[in-house]
A and B are shown apart, each in its own frame.
Chain A
Amino acid sequence: MNQLNHALSLEEKPRKIIRFNRRQSTLITILSGLALLTAIIAASFLMSDEAIKTHFEARNLSPSWQHFFGTDWLGRDMFTRTVKGLSLSIGIGLLASTVSVIVALILGMAAATLGKTVDTLISWLVDVFMGLPHLVALILIAFALGSGAKGVIIGVACTHWPNLTRIIRAEVLQLRTSQFVQVSRHMGKSRIWIAVQHLLPHLLPQFFVGLVLLFPHAILHEASITFLGFGLSPHQPAIGVILSESMNYLSVGMWWLAFFPGLSLLVVVRVFDMVGDNLRLMFDPHSAHE
């Protein structure tokens, strides 16, 4: 309340020209986050591959106006590599988290609506995947499918659905026993009609927030297994590859090789987290009007 009155009283002071209410500032945060991510992807397409080819005349340069993030031992521009790496990460993250969320939605709804056997089976699967350490499962899958983008995407997609499945299953179970769903049956509506009209609108916020919050996980895990050598091939400009290569050069003082790409990864992950949290605030009825 204090905050609000404070905000309202500010309105009267002419000095403060622009004042955003919570929903506006939330929306601005979300939009600027999305803008940054789009910019990274767009930039990676616009940048030519020329800069990441070998240029022995420009080896091991520290950061300068010419090379923002410096160059590596083959003379490749680290800024370009980072942007392209990030864009690849975002792409993989988006794909993997979309698959995860859709899997979670389908399994969650199936567990809660298709009877006991299906529910037991899905719950068991959820428990198995949640019992396995994330990274171990990921490495196993990526390794079994052979390294490369395919293994990483399938690996990340297959290991991130259990949490959300559980949430959606619980939500559907609760919704199914709610009075308005029971009334709907008595209005002569079919199960499918109810699932689409009554249940889905309640699950959409979970869906979107889940999608965005899975994103950073997916990106970090992709980077981790690539770093460990089970992921993308060393020729691809992936953040994990960059970080793992740079390890060899850190001891000779080439700090920029790991520092800037690592920082960029952190920023991107943080932006996604922020977008997700803000979305959640907007969807949550308890805080929606604040």
Chain B
Amino acid sequence: MTIEYNPDDFKSTEIGPGYKSLLEVSDLSVSFVQYQKGLRQRVLKVISNLDISLGSGEILAVVGSSGSGKSLLAHAILGILPNNAICSGKILYKNELLTPERQKKIRGSEITLVPQSVNFLDPLMRVSAQVRTAVRQGNPEEAQKKIFRRYDLSEGVGNQYPFQLSGGMARRVLISAAVINGSKLIIADEPTPGLHPEIVTETLNHLRELTDEGCGVMLITHDISTALQVADKIAVFYAGTTIEITPAADFHGQGQALRHPYTKALWQSLPQNDFTPIPGFQPLPANFSEGCLFAPRCGKITSECTGSLPVMQDLRSGKVRCHHAT
């Protein structure tokens, strides 16, 4: 991965705890080199000009439909994109550039991932032993026992294999494995897929607890109701970029406080609201155009919209990428 940067842009201005900004992603683009029919290759841009920031003690929910590039953002931060990916832009962690070397060093300790399901665990290893293998410093057994006590996991659970865990237990094991090294930045990629509401709430509360201890949590989900349960800020993804960053509190009523037409449409299509969808679909990366990618589905489209991708602008304590934002 090459990250082009000017060293003057991000000299450490703050040192010590209480980073205002734990993670800052600016102008991130991710492309893939792919084979078309036969031997020709093409470069497919899947994430473009993406900006987000996350402070410690904060939960940022990244909300978008499948194919909007939200998981790729997580992979880019962790440095686990496949080999045919090309990255540009910059990712700052604790105000310092996150280079591939640094990513390798601190992922699993300072930055960690809470995966989607127990399928990410070794199916043939008891969970307590498995959690121990994640420990980087100190006595693994003690660390594992301590974290299991914290998440109310009995020794009996520790002796089980991943497939034996119930939905709620599995969530707790996955979180305990992720935070056992005292990580500061926790990326949860769809941590509650198709789970019962009570388990979802329990898992989200665990994430909230972690931010109370000073961690920053990035919650990646397609489900806006889940995000609203717990997030402070919500970044809405559409077709590979952020179109709006808003305080979670702005999702209320008819969505009048929201800025981007897509966010409003998303809010209104929820079953508890209008349940009336806007027509159309998110474009595929191969069909990305120059202008605003939401334009074909937007009621406010003008010639301005098709020309170039609107820039992110500040609006009412949030940000939006739209010429007609109100």
Establish whether A and B are touching in the complex (CB under 8 Å): yes
> Which residues of A does B touch, CB under 8 Å?
1-5, 8, 21, 23-24, 27, 286, 288-290
Q: Which of A5, A21, A24, A27 contacts B2 (CB under 8 A)?
A: A5
- CB-defined contacts of B100 to chain A, threshold 8 Å: 1
Interchain CB contact under 8 A, A4 and B33: yes
Interchain CB contact under 8 A, B39 and A3: no
- The interface bits of chain B over 1-17 (1 if a CB of A lies within 8 angstroms of the residue's CB, else 0) are 11000000000000000
Task: Kindly report which residue of chain A lies nearest to residue B32, judged by CB atoms.
Answer: A289
Interchain CB contact under 8 A, A5 and B86: yes
B40–chain A nearest beta-carbon distance, Å: 9
Question: Is B87 located at the chain interface by the 8 A CB criterion?
Answer: yes
Interchain CB contact under 8 A, A24 and B39: yes
Q: Which of A1, A21, A27, A286 contacts B87 (CB under 8 A)?
A: A1
Whole-angstrom CA separation of A290 from B33 in the bound complex = 8
- CB-defined contacts of B32 to chain A, threshold 8 Å: 289
Task: Kindly report which residue of chain A lies nearest to residue B33, judged by CB atoms.
Answer: A4
- CB-defined contacts of B35 to chain A, threshold 8 Å: 21, 23, 288-289
- CB-defined contacts of A8 to chain B, threshold 8 Å: 86
Task: Kindly report which residue of chain A lies nearest to residue B41, judged by CB atoms.
Answer: A21
Whole-angstrom CA separation of A2 from B1 in the bound complex = 6
Interchain CB contact under 8 A, B1 and A1: yes
A9–chain B nearest beta-carbon distance, Å: 9
Whole-angstrom CA separation of A195 from B39 in the bound complex = 30
A143–chain B nearest beta-carbon distance, Å: 43
Rank and list the top 6 A-B pairs by shortest CB-CB distance, nearest first.
A1-B1, A289-B84, A290-B83, A290-B84, A24-B39, A289-B34
Interchain CB contact under 8 A, A23 and B39: yes
Interchain CB contact under 8 A, A27 and B84: no
Q: Known: A289-B32, A289-B34. Is A1-B81 also a contact (CB below 8 A)?
A: yes
Question: Is B157 located at the chain interface by the 8 A CB criterion?
Answer: no
Question: Is B85 located at the chain interface by the 8 A CB criterion?
Answer: yes
Among B67-91, those with CB < 8 Å from A are 81-87
Interchain CB contact under 8 A, B41 and A4: no
Identify 13 new A-B residue pairs, CB closer than 8 A, beyond the known A286-B82, A289-B35.
A1-B83, A1-B85, A2-B1, A3-B83, A4-B33, A4-B86, A5-B1, A8-B86, A21-B35, A21-B41, A23-B35, A289-B33, A289-B84
> Which residues of B does A touch, CB under 8 Å?
1-2, 32-35, 39, 41, 81-87, 100
- CB-defined contacts of B86 to chain A, threshold 8 Å: 1, 4-5, 8
- CB-defined contacts of A2 to chain B, threshold 8 Å: 1
A32–chain B nearest beta-carbon distance, Å: 16
- CB-defined contacts of A5 to chain B, threshold 8 Å: 1-2, 86
- CB-defined contacts of A288 to chain B, threshold 8 Å: 35
- CB-defined contacts of A1 to chain B, threshold 8 Å: 1-2, 81, 83, 85-87, 100
Whole-angstrom CA separation of A23 from B34 in the bound complex = 10
Whole-angstrom CA separation of A224 from B303 in the bound complex = 76
Interchain CB contact under 8 A, B39 and A4: no
A4, A27, A289, most chain B CB atoms within 10 A:
A289
Whole-angstrom CA separation of A1 from B88 in the bound complex = 12
- CB-defined contacts of A289 to chain B, threshold 8 Å: 32-35, 82, 84
- CB-defined contacts of B1 to chain A, threshold 8 Å: 1-2, 5
B123–chain A nearest beta-carbon distance, Å: 14
- CB-defined contacts of B2 to chain A, threshold 8 Å: 1, 5
Whole-angstrom CA separation of A21 from B35 in the bound complex = 10
- CB-defined contacts of A21 to chain B, threshold 8 Å: 35, 39, 41
Task: Kindly report which residue of chain B lies nearest to residue A20, judged by CB atoms.
Answer: B39
Whole-angstrom CA separation of A28 from B39 in the bound complex = 11
- CB-defined contacts of B39 to chain A, threshold 8 Å: 21, 23-24, 27
Task: Kindly report which residue of chain A lies nearest to residue B43, judged by CB atoms.
Answer: A8
A-B contact pairs, 15 of them (CB 8 A): A1-B2, A1-B83, A1-B85, A1-B86, A3-B83, A4-B86, A5-B2, A5-B86, A21-B35, A23-B39, A23-B41, A27-B39, A286-B82, A289-B34, A290-B82
B15–chain A nearest beta-carbon distance, Å: 30
- CB-defined contacts of A3 to chain B, threshold 8 Å: 83
A172–chain B nearest beta-carbon distance, Å: 21
Whole-angstrom CA separation of A29 from B277 in the bound complex = 52
Whole-angstrom CA separation of A21 from B38 in the bound complex = 12
Task: Kindly report which residue of chain B lies nearest to residue A27, judged by CB atoms.
Answer: B39
Task: Kindly report which residue of chain A lies nearest to residue B34, judged by CB atoms.
Answer: A289
Whole-angstrom CA separation of A24 from B39 in the bound complex = 6
B119–chain A nearest beta-carbon distance, Å: 15
- CB-defined contacts of B82 to chain A, threshold 8 Å: 286, 289-290
Whole-angstrom CA separation of A290 from B86 in the bound complex = 12
Whole-angstrom CA separation of A289 from B86 in the bound complex = 13
